[in-house]
Structure 1
Amino acid sequence: MKIKRFLKLGVISALLLASLAACSDKEESSGTTNGDKGVKITFFNTSAEVNTVFEDLFKKYHELNPNVTVELIPTPIGGQQIEKFQSLIASGTPATIANLDPGTIVQYKDKFLDLESEKAKYESLTNPGAVEGGILDGKFLGIPWTAQGYGLLYNKRVVEEAIGGTFDPASIKTRDDLESLFKKIEAVGKEPVMLHGADWSLGAHYLALSYSLQSDDMEKNRKFVEDMQSGKVKLTDNPQFTGLMDTFDLLKKYNARKNDPLVADYNRDSADFAKGNAAFYFMGDWTWAVIGNLKGRDKEFGVIPVPISNNPEDFGNSQVAFSEPKLFAIDNSGSTKEQQQAAKDLIEWMVTSKEGQDAIITKMGLSMPYKDVKATSTNILSKAVSKYVSQGKVINIGVINYLPQDYWAKTGASMQKYLVEKINREQLAEEVENYWKSTKK
């Protein structure tokens, strides 16, 4: 899914990957120390667009800690990343640290170190709920280092011109509140909302909220998915699903793209929102990569939750969706105790030091789920999401880490049919239910 969408700044060549593999000699891969040189660790990176930022960071760390050498194992943007990871494991030369999607860590959970001894420390360093994103199958296997969220982004200028005053995002507590606002925006000749018609947005970001809204306990949400696979769930009787789809009907009604909803031009949709051609946009803070440097855009933006009912107290009406799309995991299949400790020290330095936070927040342009943040972000949208995170007002969407890889494409296609009214609500529910029953092992 496209929970995180970086700008594609370059592609690592196959020749470079081959040379890196050839340079990994037996001594380095087995985790032994290099004599007087101290300990050497390797870092496998799937955030390929920021390879150079990590390289510079590791050079700085080596200057501060001459006895520790960190070698980056880069991957190309958009392909062959997991194949490279698999080849390292198969050859007995696993990376000491791996920067991976949580779902991949789950898949290879037996290869990673249980970080239970580090858990209390990171609970004290991070915002409430952040560590939960690294607890996979009951074990703390991944250290969070970046965060993202999504909901209904808003263009402050457009909204405030429509209401004739200051907009308080907390004033939207229910679906009726949202429709009332949409009517005011429409009355001044503006499009109320932009609904992106791609399968990943509809299947992963929107529909998948129904799985995470079942409970604030992710294990209960996993049980809900298992019940769907067993055919025990009738979605049209599920209040979270029906409430979410009632809101979707509202978004459809006021959609700026309602005349051609499946065009799904991500750059165009993002730019139109940023320039004030729509007041709201169902999307995440990652879209700042498109609109941050856009000429002619508005300056102030924010985010509100997607209301799913007319009861302000219902879970989801005051929370935004939140996840940690990448985690740092430490190898436990071929690394020495010395390397594992060096890995722990490096990770702690990266997420807590001024140098590390500046690299992640300022240079990479990401948001961090940490309390003591020393760097300044230019991402207005991630700052808006961070306000909800700091208050614990988030929907933990970690259940997606356990879902089949094609869930968003398959269910997203059904959502697209519903969006253009080729199927009705009952047919949509039936298609989604049938998909989940087909995934039962």
Structure 2
Amino acid sequence: MLKKVAPWLALLLILSLLAACSQGKGKSGASSDANGEVKLTFFNTSAEVNSVFEKLFETYHEQNPKVTIELIPTPIGGAQLEKFQSLLASNNPPTISNLDPGTILQYKDKFLDLDSEKSKYEGLTKAGAVENALLDGKFLGIPWTAQGYGLLYNKRAVEEAIGGTFDPASIKTRDDLEALFQKIQAAGKAPVMLHGADWSLGAHYLGLTYSLQSKDVDTNLKFVKGLEDGTQSLANNAAFNGLMDTFDVLKKYNARSKDPLTADYNKDSSDFAKGNAAFYFMGDWTWAVIGSLQGRDQDFGVIPVPISNNPADYGNTQIAYSEPKLLAIDNSGSSPAQQEAAKKFIEWLVTSDQGQKAIVSDMGLALPYKDVKVKSTNVISNAVNEYVDQEKTINIGVINYLPQDYWAKTGASMQKYLANVIDRQGLIDEVQAYWKSQAGK
């Protein structure tokens, strides 16, 4: 005859079994145990550098044997947000996520508030890096890379056309720029390359409208809200009209004027790198195309997009600059041990020799940090950093608060304007109609 098990003993057995099943397993799928061993997961949307991160995780594990980091890769250019959303929905969030600031803002309640780390990173980073990374005033993501854009120039092509040394500081106004373009054209060269893709026209060019209203992100966001509720108008807005007056100059001297919407990124970048256009409205990320290009020129730089004929106007001496990706730490399923380990890894990533070499040399990216020991081979990024060091940048942080489709929708309108399908008023009507459609969303 089987003996009955005392109720208190049965309960104890059940609790023991539950504890054994759950030991070392957090909701994030990243484990920690009593021996101090911690497993982290890393969700990466910079898919082109997955292999570099994997090598970094191995190096870090060698130095910190109790910490293991597993990569959650994403495909280049596709379904990244959907994959992140599915991990959240399955209650299996990554410990660390490399995300666009706008995505972190969208899911801000899922991430750890890093206010305790803020002063440390303010000391480590260049001026404005932490401030520009704040989302709703909170430090939810640590900046690890930075990008800038404006009018890139091919030094050889410009100087051959003008017959002398080019001083980038000599271009202070729109008229200065057009006078230079006239000289370049007279020498038989194409003055400028305009890439006709919606992301370049809608986000990078027209998007400057929202950032040039002031140096304050909140003020710029209020301007956008004004476009939504109809209290603001582009027709009489100085920054918008100044940008579009300059765009008319770029359009007039565009190397692709006969077929402006072809938008072949590799060809446009290659032609600029080989001197078939003296200037190129683009960012330092184009180095991924031209850095290893055979037969390219060697010296490149960047100047601001002048938006008026008053040199003192905001934007005429500054270039657009941002931290396009931030590293956020999960707060919805990770244990305190995992969170602390994640903080230590991120700090190692951006400050150690191995981390900096991987980011600057292997990934070809710029670090917005003061003490970077590795010299970048990205000539354009180095030129951007000169503006950063002089604090001559435009804070484009307002874009983190804009709808996901703003650049595609308004970029399509910019494409019509570039191809002379609509005029300035037609552009204003279409862009304002888009913003009004966002009211209340």
Partner-residue secondary structure (3-state), 2:183:
helix
Q: Which residue in the other structure is 1:382 paired with?
A: 381
CA–CA separation in structure 2 for the residues paired with 1:304 and 1:122: 29
Tell me the alpha carbon deviations over residues 41-75 of structure 1, each in whole angstroms, 9 at most, x when there is no partner.
22111111211111111111111112222222222
Q: How does 1:92-107 map to 2 (within 5 A)?
A: 92-107=91-106
CA–CA separation in structure 1 for the residues paired with 2:392 and 2:281: 18
Q: Which residue in the other structure is 1:423 paired with?
A: 422
Partner-residue secondary structure (3-state), 1:392:
coil
CA–CA separation in structure 1 for the residues paired with 2:35 and 2:387: 48
AA paired with 2:64?
N
Pairwise CA distance, 1:376: 2.0
Q: Which residue in the other structure is 2:131 paired with?
A: 132
CA–CA separation in structure 2 for the residues paired with 1:333 and 1:387: 40
Pairwise CA distance, 1:37: 5.5
AA paired with 2:321?
F
Structure 2 stretches of 5 or more lacking a match?
1-21
CA–CA separation in structure 1 for the residues paired with 2:120 and 2:114: 11
Q: Which residue in the other structure is 1:229 paired with?
A: 228
Q: Which residue in the other structure is 2:372 paired with?
A: 373
AA paired with 1:354?
D
Tell me the alpha carbon deviations over residues 245-302 of structure 1, each in whole angstroms, 9 at most, x when there is no partner.
0000000111111111111111111111111111000011111111111111111000
CA contact (8 A) 1:34 1:40 kept: no
Partner-residue secondary structure (3-state), 1:200:
helix
CA–CA separation in structure 2 for the residues paired with 1:258 and 1:229: 33
CA contact (8 A) 1:322 1:394 kept: yes
Partner-residue secondary structure (3-state), 2:149:
strand
**1:407 lines up with 2:400 in the alignment:** no
Q: Which residue in the other structure is 1:319 paired with?
A: 318
Q: Which residue in the other structure is 1:179 paired with?
A: 178
Q: Which residue in the other structure is 1:15 paired with?
A: none
AA paired with 1:95?
P
CA–CA separation in structure 2 for the residues paired with 1:258 and 1:74: 40
Q: Which residue in the other structure is 1:121 paired with?
A: 120
Q: Which residue in the other structure is 2:201 paired with?
A: 202
Pairwise CA distance, 1:32: 5.0
Pairwise CA distance, 1:339: 1.2
Q: Which residue in the other structure is 1:4 paired with?
A: none
Match of 1:29 among 18, 26, 29: 26
Pairwise CA distance, 1:27: 3.5
CA contact (8 A) 2:96 2:330 kept: yes
Pairwise CA distance, 1:416: 1.1
Pairwise CA distance, 1:430: 1.1
CA–CA separation in structure 1 for the residues paired with 2:31 and 2:411: 48
Partner-residue secondary structure (3-state), 1:106:
helix
Q: Which residue in the other structure is 2:436 paired with?
A: 437
CA contact (8 A) 1:29 1:94 kept: no
Larger radius of gyration: 2
CA–CA separation in structure 1 for the residues paired with 2:289 and 2:74: 23
Structure 1 stretches of 5 or more lacking a match?
1-24
Tell me the alpha carbon deviations over residues 155-211 of structure 1, each in whole angstroms, 9 at most, x when there is no partner.
000111122222111111100110111111111111111111111111111001010
Pairwise CA distance, 1:434: 0.7
Which range moves more in the overlay, 42-51 or 172-181?
42-51
CA–CA separation in structure 1 for the residues paired with 2:23 and 2:236: 59
Report the TM-score, using the length of structure 1 for normalisation: 0.92
Which range moves more in the overlay, 98-107 or 87-96?
87-96
Instruction: Tell me how many residue pairs correspond in the alignment.
Output: 417
Report the TM-score, using the length of structure 2 for normalisation: 0.92
CA–CA separation in structure 1 for the residues paired with 2:192 and 2:86: 45
CA–CA separation in structure 2 for the residues paired with 1:201 and 1:84: 26
Tell me the alpha carbon deviations over residues 102-154 of structure 1, each in whole angstroms, 9 at most, x when there is no partner.
11101100000111111111111111111123200111111000000110000
Pairwise CA distance, 1:92: 2.0
Q: Which residue in the other structure is 1:301 paired with?
A: 300
CA contact (8 A) 1:44 1:95 kept: yes
Pairwise CA distance, 1:87: 2.1
Percentage of identical aligned residues: 72
